[in-house]
A and B are shown apart, each in its own frame.
Chain A
Amino acid sequence: MQESNRSVVLSLLESKSIKEENIDKVLYEIGVIPSSNSWYMFIDKLLLWFGGLALAFSLMFFVAYNWTEFGRFAKFALVEGAIVGSIALYWYLGGEKLSAKVVLMVSSILLGVLLALVGQTYQTGADTWQLFFYWAVLILPWVLVGRFSAIWMVWIFLVNISIALYIDIFRGLFGFSFYSEYSLLWIFFIFNTSAWVLWEFFSTRYEWLKSNWAIRVLGFVSMTAVTSLSLSFLWEEQSGVAILVWFAWLATVYWAYRVRKVDLFILSIMALSFSTVLVSFLINALFQHSFNLGSLLIIGLVIIGLGAGFASWLKSVQKEAEDANE
C-alpha cells in the first residue's frame, strides 16, 4: 500500500514547498497530469468500451421491443449471428488485446439476450432464475478463457441474481428447505465470501486477477451480509451462530488485511461492521425495557468514540505501511 502521487503533490502544495510557477511542471513531472500519450490511450479505451457496450445494449433493447413484423427466425438469426460474429472477432483479435476482451464481454451479454429471446418466443414457462443461471453456466468457458476481472465480476453478479430468484421461489437449495428470510443472507454470505477468498488466493498466481476494486467489492458484499446476519441475531433473536461467524469473520479479516498485508479499505469496512453491531447491541440493551435520556448520551458518545478511535487506528496503520515502503 502506498500513497498516491496526487496525494503527495497536494501535501507539498499545502506546505508551500512548490513555487506557483512550478506547479504545472511538477504535476507533469510525476505524472499527476497525464501525458498526451496517456490521454490518447484513455480516450481509445473509453471509445472501445462504451462503443461495445452500446452495441450490446442496442440488441438487448431491440429484442425487448418484441417487434412482431420482424419474424422469429430473423430475430434468432440476428442475435446468433451477432454472437458468432463477435466470437470470430475475438478469435481473430487474439485473447490478450483490450479490444478482444471488450468483444468477449459483448458476446457474454449477447448470450443472455439469446436466452431471453428463447423465453420470449417459445414461452417455455421457465422461471426467471433459470435465465440467469443458464446464462452464467453458458458463459463460464468464455469467462475462463477471457482472463480479466470485469467479466468474472459479471459472472459472480449473475450467480448472485440466480440464487436470489431461486430461493425466492423454492425457499430452499439442494433439497434443504429454508423457512427464514435470513437464509438468503447466509447463502449470499457463503457464496461471496468464498469468491473473495478464492480471488485473493488466485491473485497471487495470476497477474490479471490483481484488481483491488474487485476484491473490495466482494469484501463489501461479504461484510454487508455478515453484519446483517449479526443484526438479525440481536434484533430478531435469530440463531447465535451468526454472531460467532461474525467474530470469526472479523478475526480473519484482521489477520488477512492487517497482519498478512495491509488494505485500508477492507480494514475500514471491518471497522464499520464492528461499530454497527456494537452500537446496535448497546441500543438493544439500553432501550429494551425503558427509554431514558442518559442512554442517548451514552450511545452518542460511544458512536463518536468508535469513529474517532478507528480513524486514529487507520491513520496509524497507514503511516506504518508508508514507513515500511521507505
Chain B
Amino acid sequence: MQMNNRKNIWETLSNASLVEGEQPMVEAESPWYIKLLLSVSGWFGALFLLVFIGGSLALMIGGGLENYAVLLILVGAGLIFFSYNMFKNKQSDFMEHFILALSVAGQAMVIAALFFMFENRADEVIFIFMALFQAFLMWLVPNYIHRMMSSFFMALSLTYFFFQIGQPNISTILLTFSVAWLWINEFKWNNHKRVEAIAYGMTAALVFIQYSVFVTPFYLYEFSDFANMTHFYMGLVELGSFMTLAYVVWKLLEESDSLNNNKVVMLSMVGLILLGSISLYVDGLMLGVLFLLIGFAHSHHLLTGLGIFSSLAFLSNYYYYTGETLMDKAGLLLLLGLGLIVSRFIVKTVLNKEASDV
C-alpha cells in the first residue's frame, strides 16, 4: 500500500490505535543522493582545507612536515576536538559542512603523521589504529554525514589491516555480516539515525571492496600481496556470505511469522542451498541476492537497486573467471536457468498460488 503522504499515514495509524498523541512535526528525511552530494563535497572541501592547513604549517616551521609528526597530531587532534564540540550544537548548513571538512582534514593530519613516524615499518599497526580511531569517532561525533564517513573509513581501514596480515577474507566476512545485521534489525534499534548512518557507510565500503576484489583491478590489488587471495580464501568469503544469507532468511521468516509454515521453510532452505552451490562458482552473486532480499523486505529501494545491479554485474563477470572453461560455465548457467524456471513452477505448485503474470 503506497500512501499519499505523512498525514494519511498518521491518520491510518491513529485510527488503528498504533500511534499516540499529536502528529509530530518532523522534517522529512533527505534522500540518499542528497546525503551523497553532501559527503562528496565535504570530502573534497576537506582535501583543499587539508593542503591549506598543512601548507601553512610547513611555511611557519620552514620545512618538511615529515619531521614534525607530533605537531601534526596535535593540530589534527585539535581540529577533531573543536569539530566534535561544535557538532554538539545545532549549526547552519554552511557551518555544519565547514566543521565536517575541518574534522576530516584533522583526521587526515593525524593519519599522515602516523605514516611519517613509522615510515612503512608497521603498516598493520597503523591500519588497526585507524580502524579503532574511526570506530570511536563514528560512535561519538553527533553528525549523520560524519558518522557515515567514519563508518566507511573504519571498514576500509579494517580491510587493509586484514590484507596486511594476509587474511583478507576475515574483513569481508565480518563486514558482510555486520551490514546484514544492521539493516535486517534496523527498525529495532533505539537510536535509529545513528545506526542507519553507520549501516550506509559500511554498505558503501562493502560494495567498494567487493567490486575491487571481484570486478576491477583496483587499489586493493596493489595494496598488498593479492596472491594471498587464493580460491580457498574466496571460498571462505562465500561461506561467510552463505551463513549471513542463512541468518537473513531466518530473520525474514521470523519477521513474517512463517517459521511454522513447513512448506515455506523447506522452499527457503532448498533455495538457499541452490544459491550457495552456484555462488561457489559465480563469486559475489550471494552479496547481490543479500541486498535484494533485505531491500525488498524493508522497502529499501536503494538496497534493492544495488542488489539487482550487483547480481547482474557479478553474473557478467563470471565470463572472465579463469578457473573454468567457457563450456563449463555454459553448462552451469544452463543448469541454473533451468533450475530457476523449474523452481518457479515448484513454488507455484507447493504454495498453490496463481501466477503473478499481470
Contact = CB atoms under 8 A, between A and B. Distances in A.
Interface in B283-304: 292, 296-301
Contact of A11 (B12, B26, B47): B26
A315 B35 CA distance: 11
Interface string A185-198: 00000000000000
Contact of B299 (A5, A48, A51, A264): A5
Nearest to A30: B9
Given A5-B9, A6-B299, A39 B256 contact: yes
B45 A307 contact: yes
Interface residues of B, number: 94
Contacts of B340: 47-48, 50-51, 54
Interface stretch (A169-177, A228-236, A249-257, A296-304): A296-304
A186 B6 CA distance: 44
Given A15-B26, A315-B34, A51 B341 contact: yes
Interface stretch (A18-26, A121-129, A138-146, A200-208): A18-26
B41 A34 contact: no
A11 to B, nearest CB: 5
Contacts of B227: none
Contact of B327 (A5, A65, A299): A65
Contacts of A17: 19-21, 23-24
A47 B311 CA distance: 13
Contacts of B30: 311, 314-315, 318
Interface residues of A, number: 91
Given A30-B9, A55-B334, 13 more contacts: A15-B24, A23-B188, A27-B187, A30-B1, A55-B338, A61-B333, A65-B330, A97-B357, A296-B55, A307-B38, A308-B98, A315-B30, A318-B28
18 contacts: A5-B2, A5-B9, A11-B28, A18-B18, A26-B19, A27-B187, A32-B299, A33-B256, A55-B341, A59-B330, A61-B326, A97-B358, A264-B31, A296-B49, A299-B48, A301-B45, A307-B42, A318-B30
Interface of B: 1-7, 9-10, 12-13, 16, 18-21, 23-24, 26-31, 33-34, 37-38, 40-42, 44-49, 51-52, 55-56, 59, 92-94, 96-98, 101, 187-188, 192-193, 196, 255-256, 258, 292, 296-301, 305, 311-312, 315-316, 319, 325-327, 329-331, 333-334, 336-341, 343-344, 347-348, 351, 353, 355-358
